[in-house]
Amino acid sequence: MVKWMKRVSQDTLSEPQVLAGTPLLVAICLGSACFVLLALVSVCFVLRRRSQRQYGQGSLKQFLLPKNVKPVIGFKTAAGPGGLKKSPSPLQSPEGMENEWAARSTHPGILELSLTDSQTSHSSGHDSMTGSVTEQSLQRINLDELGEKRGELNFSLRYCFEKNALQVNIIGATNLPQLVINRAATGEQPLLDPYVKLQLLPEKQHKVKTRVVRNTLNPVYDEEFTFYGITYSQLQSTTLHFAVVAFDRYSRDEIVGEVLCPLHTTVDLSDSDRQATLTMDLVSRSSRFQNSQNRGEILVSLCYQPATNKVTAVVLKAKNLPKFDITGLADPYVKVYMLYNGQKVAKKKTHVKKRTLTPVYNESFVFDLPSSDPSDLELVSFELVVMDWDRVTKNEVMGRCMVGIGAKNSSGRSHWDQVRRNPRRQIAEWHRLRP
């Protein structure tokens, strides 16, 4: 009886404690919910203020800045010994440069790029064409149809002995050929958007570009590039390679003309106070090789596998390739086409070999034959095309040859006959390349 009375008294005492703790728990929950809600409201307010601030700055820039002004990159480098490898090699895009420009250098502290005052593009046309332009109203001219002379390039040179610096000022170009003509426009408005590429030879590593000037055959750039760390003795073996390039937004750019300027024979830079201004003719790219019939040779090995109905083609190497580039070197690679009854049915290609006229590939490719009938091998042929690779412009054909029924010479036909008659055996032969 006593135990029962104690238990009742304990239960009676615990009920008020539970009732007293319930309001405290409710208050904690409400406080937490209010805190979370306040935090969300604060975050939304901050994000809204930030977006309004960015929008206001963007609209203010659009209102203040003129539409036809593009920023120009100024180049600053630390002078010092080491030759051409410490010269700046910026590769900024000539189209659509932003106000902020990031640069990377393999030598920290050597290359420093900064934005200078904006310059207005001098153009004989408008940045955006007015009126409707249809495909029928545009006439595109093939570069091969133009003459060897492609206009003139104006530039000036100065050498600073105190800083071991070569200053190159690209002034502009005149009388450039028209590549695309708008027949619908009055006076046949030119649609050429040229810019200039400059690189120092023989290193071929230090490249700069001007901005694009739209719709003109006589662009004016007036952009100066300074290369530091070049001694006066190194100028004797340095050559400037200029290339006027037609910018194409939807395709690969095309080289309009080139200028090769050997410093030791073209200009005297012994006086730092005198700036030499030059005007040189732009010539067509690889014009000296367009009529050349000898394009070198290529070594290729072929093997017919009847069990798997495949042909293995091994591109081994090439030799005596023409100096297709005006710099005296090339970046060749090989395309291999398999043809069946005169139609291309498969394509492979090798890697690019940089700066060589005697590339070694040793690359193997396997082609599935379209027919399992051995007699149809007579309808199979292979075409090998050696191409000169270019990072910006269209790749050019250096030479080609045919092996099989489509070959115009006896060596190409006899090579394929040996492959057919000797299955499971690699047979290699040299083939002369032709245009």
pLDDT in tens, 79-125: 333 333 333 433 333 444 333 333 333 333 333 333 333 344 444 44
**Domain containing residue 331: CATH number:** 2.60.40.150
272 and 308 belong to one structural domain: no
270 and 350 belong to one structural domain: no
Overall domain count for the chain: 2
242 and 303 belong to one structural domain: no
pLDDT in tens, 279-315: 999 988 655 555 556 789 999 999 999 999 999 999 9
pTM, 2 dp: 0.55
pLDDT at 197: 93
Phi, psi of 407 (to 5 degrees): -70, 140
* Domain final position from 242, 264, 285: 285
Is residue 146 over pLDDT 80? Answer: no
Is residue 20 over pLDDT 60? Answer: no
- H or E stretch covering 257: strand 254-262
191 and 144 belong to one structural domain: yes
* Domain final position from 285, 308, 340: 285
Is residue 5 over pLDDT 60? Answer: no
422, part of any domain: yes
| Residue position matching structure tokens 């293995």 | 312
* Domain final position from 234, 251, 285: 285
What is the span of the domain harbouring residue 118?
69-285
160 and 248 belong to one structural domain: yes
33, part of any domain: no
DSSP of 296-345: -EEEEEEEEETTTTEEEEEEEEEES----STTS---EEEEEEEEETTEEE
d(CA 396, CA 390): 8
221 and 357 belong to one structural domain: no
264 and 118 belong to one structural domain: yes
pLDDT in tens, 34-67: 888 888 888 888 888 777 665 555 444 444 444 4
C-alpha separations of 331 from 252, 359, 385, 389 in Å: 17, 9, 14, 5
The HSE-up count of residue 368 (CA atoms within 13 Å, CB side) is: 1
For residue 404, is it left (φ>0), alpha (ψ between -120 and 50) or beta?
A: left
